Amino acid sequence: MTIHEVDPKIIDKANTWLNGNYDAETKAVVKNMLENDPAELVECFYRDLEFGTGGLRGIMGTGTNRMNKYTVGTATQGLANYLKYSFSTLPEISLAIAFDSRNNSPYFAQIAADVLAGNGIKVFLFESLRPTPELSFAVRHLKCQGGIVITASHNPKEYNGYKVYWNDGGQLVPPHDKNVIDEVYKITNVDDVKFGNDSPLIVKIGKEVDDVYLSMLKSLSLSPDIIARQHDLRIVYTPIHGTGALLVPQALSRFGFNAVTTVEKQMIPDGNFPTVLSPNPEEKAAMAMALDKAKEVNADLILATDPDADRVGAGVKDNEGNYILLNGNQSATLLIYYLIKQWKAKGKITGNEFIAKTIVTSELLKDIAVDNGVESYDVLTGFKYIAEIIRKFEGIKTFIGGGEESYGYLVGDSVRDKDAVISCCMLAETAAWAKDQGLTMFDLLIDIYKEYGFYLEDLISITKKGKSGAEEIQEMMKNYRINPPKVINGQKVTIIKDYQLQVEKNLSTGSETPILLPKSDVLQFFLESGSKITVRPSGTEPKIKFYFGVKGKLNSKNEFDKVNKEMAAQLQSIITSMGLR
């Protein structure tokens, strides 16, 4: 590519940075791209970072499509403008800010704090790295109008991000998310950003919030008597170089678990994540050191949290005594089953309780809830929508717990985002409950399958990087809408749900039913066998995701391997028929 092939609008954007009130280092990088690297220029300036399901997230570097001082500052100025408009009648507006272990996270957090303070907004800034769920808790605890956490969750080390929370402690949902970005787009000159410095409006917070947060988590325990009997449950934990190192071991100790072994090399916060290729507990490679440690200490349970400690991966022993990693649906199933069964055993189910899950999460959670007199609500992908429904029913219905297949779960409503700290504690409590009955976690999962049906899911993520990748993903979704499959793997497609058009169409009858959820670029295909296939572009990564789910019958523990293989083959056949593997 030559500079002459670059869209003039991109060059104009770059020249704005070259000639505007930007620091010398930034200008030098822009000048080099204009003169020597037009391809990189396109990637850095072809768009502005947008708020997706996880907020602002991107590769760190120079340009409008990168995480840097100016994109963070502009986003914060837009947020400040919207806050001052939304809460104009309050005598004081305040926000809480937290950050994770990623490179530049403390720097970006300070930039955000300085801009807010420059706009006359009080800031409660955590003194050092903290888990994302604690930020959500702090917003409510400190009665703030919002919050910010600097994190890119489980993305590779080149990334960072910026998640915004509203006064309920949940991430921004419509209309606030769009309104904030509209305010950001109104800022056309870097001089409009009020970069402050050393303001008395910035107040450091730390241990005093930790103590209240941990005490709240401990109050959610349902089985302290069982933990007392199973206090020596052997747990291996790793934070994968993230914020979980600070609070997860403390929380497990407060719950009463005193046989927790940590993966010491991964207990050191480090934004380069030196022991893993990717700090994602969904990936087996990221769990390798924890698996080795589990074998060494003969652990009952393995727990691993991502860098900002809002998601957790778990491992258990199977029928043969080999360690396996649970997928997100399985962990969510065990957690929700335990919560509901214990609520029921304690007489706390009155018919006014509910759980929530995302549309791509296993239907098994709904089956368990409904069977036990608990309502189940489906929401769009993104935990902010679970927070939204908790807020909707606040004071009307009681939220027990919820989850999504991407390893995010929540217990209770004091936090309004997925919380790996309480999830670690409650998964450990579930394991203790099972062990108290002479069962392993794997035994318990099989018992659930026997009672409700054997659900098996899979996920295919296809990465399409850069401008061309984004266009290719859009084209794939367009083709699925224009020419939807009528048959998949020899089975008729009976129902298509289009969340963009908000319509559910029954292909057998031709009837259409409205979908009462916000618009989202998601398609679901239901087959005559009951299998479910979901297609959606990721809101936080350059990927298009395909979710697959099948259901079978399990009559006995002895049949598990056989049925599992049959269902896995069925899944693979569906995936192959769609040309995805």
What whole-number distance in Å separates Cα of residue 370 and Cα of residue 373? Answer: 5
Beta strands in 270-406 (DSSP E): 301-305, 312-317, 323-325, 353-358, 375-379, 398-404
Residue corresponding to tokens 């069977």:
371
267, 245 Cβ separation under 8 angstroms: yes
Q: Which residues contact 392 (CB under 8 A, 6 or more apart)?
A: none
Which tokens in the block code for residue 21? 């009130």
Out of 153, 362, 520, 531, pick the active-site residue: 153
CA pair distance 57, 50, nearest whole angstrom? 8
- Long-range contacts: 173-179, Cβ < 8 Å, 24+? 173/384, 173/385, 173/387, 173/388, 174/518, 176/82, 176/86, 177/51, 179/82
Q: How many CA atoms lie within 13 A of 51 on its CB side?
A: 29
Distance between CA 459 and CA 29 in Å, rounded? 39
SS3 25: helix
Report the C-alpha gap between 574 and 581 in whole angstroms: 10
Tokens of 433: 């409950």
- Say if CB 121 and CB 201 are below 8 A apart: yes
Contact 370, 336 (CB under 8 A): no
Q: Where are the beta strands (DSSP E) in 318-432?
A: 323-325, 353-358, 375-379, 398-404, 408-411
Closest CA to 177 of 374, 380, 358: 380
278 is catalytic: no
Question: What is the 3-state secondary structure of 283-317?
Answer: CHHHHHHHHHHHHHHCCCEEEEECCCCCCEEEEEE
- Calpha distance 349→364 (Å, rounded): 19
Main-chain dihedrals φ then ψ at residue 311, nearest 5 degrees: -130, 150
> Which residues, in sequence order, are CB contacts of 257 under 8 Å at separation 6+?
227, 231, 233, 235, 428, 432
Distances (CA, A) of 204 to 96, 97, 199, 310, 501: 10, 10, 12, 22, 46
Q: What are phi and psi of 256, to 5 degrees?
A: 115, 5
The SS3 call for residue 432 is helix
User: Is 56 in contact with 161 (CB distance < 8 Å)?
Assistant: yes
Active-site residue set: 153
